[in-house]
Chain A
Amino acid sequence: MVQILVYTGLFLSLYFGIFVFLTFTENKKRIYLKAKQYFPSVSLIVPCFNEQENVKTILQSLFDLNYPKEKLEIIAIDDGSKDSTLKEMKEFQGTHPSLQIFHKENGGKHTALNLGIEHSKGDIIGCVDADCIVEKEALRKMVKYFDQASIVISTIKIMHPKNILEGIQYAEYLMSAFLKKVFSFLGSISVTPGPLSLFKREALKQLGPYKEAYLTEDLEMALRAQSKNIRIVHALESIVYTKAQKSLKGLCKQRLRWRRGFLLNLNDYRNLLNIKEHGNLSVMLFYNLFGALLTISLISYSLYRFFNFVFTRLGNALLINFDFYPFLSDIGWPSVNIKPVMVLGFLSILTILCFLLFGKKLTFDKKSLKKKALIYLVCYSFLNGVWWVLAGFSILLRREIAWQ
Chain B
Amino acid sequence: MDEKKIDKQKYVLVLVSTILIFSSGFFLADQINKGRLEELSSLQQNLRVDILALETQFSILEQAPCENLNESVLTQELYNISQKLTSVGNDLGNDHPQYLQLKKYYSVLEIKHWLLLLKARQQCELPLTFVIYFYADKKICPQCEDQGYILTYFRKKYPSLRVYSFDYDLELSALETLKSIYALEKNLPLLIIDDKIHEGFKDKEALEEILSQYIEIATSTQDI
Contacts and interface: CB of A to CB of B under 8 A. Distances in A.
Nearest to A277: B4
Contacts of B17: 18
B139 to A, nearest CB: 17
B29 A340 contact: yes
B6 A329 contact: no
A15 B15 CA distance: 7
A342 interface: yes
A15 B22 CA distance: 9
A325 B28 contact: no
Question: Of residues A18, A229, A278, A330, which shows the largest number of chain B Cβ atoms within 10 Å of its Cβ?
Answer: A18
Nearest to B157: A326
A193 interface: no
Contacts of A11: 18, 22
B41 interface: no
A40 to B, nearest CB: 22
B194 interface: no
Contacts of B149: 316, 319-320
A188 interface: yes
B146 A319 contact: yes
Interface string B31-55: 0110010000000000000000000
Contact of B21 (A14, A187, A229, A279): A14
Contacts of A323: 153
A50 interface: no
A315 B148 CA distance: 13
Nearest to A342: B29
A13 B204 CA distance: 48
A95 interface: no
Interface string A176-187: 000000000111
Q: Per DSSP, are chain A's interface residues mostly helix, strand or loop, or mixed? A: helix
A57 interface: no
Contacts, number: 94
Contacts of A185: 3
Contact of B18 (A14, A326, A335): A14
Interface in B128-167: 146, 149-150, 153, 156-157
Interface residues of A, number: 40
A337 interface: yes
A337 B91 contact: yes
Nearest to B16: A18
A15 B11 CA distance: 9
Given A18-B14, A18-B18, A187-B1, A347 B157 contact: no
A344 B22 contact: yes
Contacts of A283: 6
B91 A320 contact: no
B6 A343 contact: no
B10 interface: yes
Nearest to B222: A325
B77 interface: no
A15 B18 contact: yes
Nearest to A23: B10
B5 interface: yes
A231 B5 CA distance: 13
B203 A343 contact: no
Contact of A327 (B1, B150, B153, B203): B153
Contacts of B219: none
8 contacts: A22-B13, A229-B1, A278-B4, A280-B3, A321-B204, A343-B28, A343-B29, A344-B25
Interface of A: 10-11, 14-15, 18-19, 22-23, 185-188, 229, 231, 275, 278-281, 283, 315-316, 319-321, 323, 325-327, 329-330, 335, 337-340, 342-344, 347
Given A11-B22, A338-B33, 16 more contacts: A14-B18, A18-B21, A22-B10, A185-B3, A186-B3, A187-B1, A229-B1, A231-B1, A280-B4, A281-B4, A320-B149, A320-B150, A325-B157, A325-B222, A327-B153, A337-B36
**Lowest 5 CB-CB distances: which A-B pairs, in order?**
A187-B3, A326-B156, A187-B4, A279-B4, A344-B25
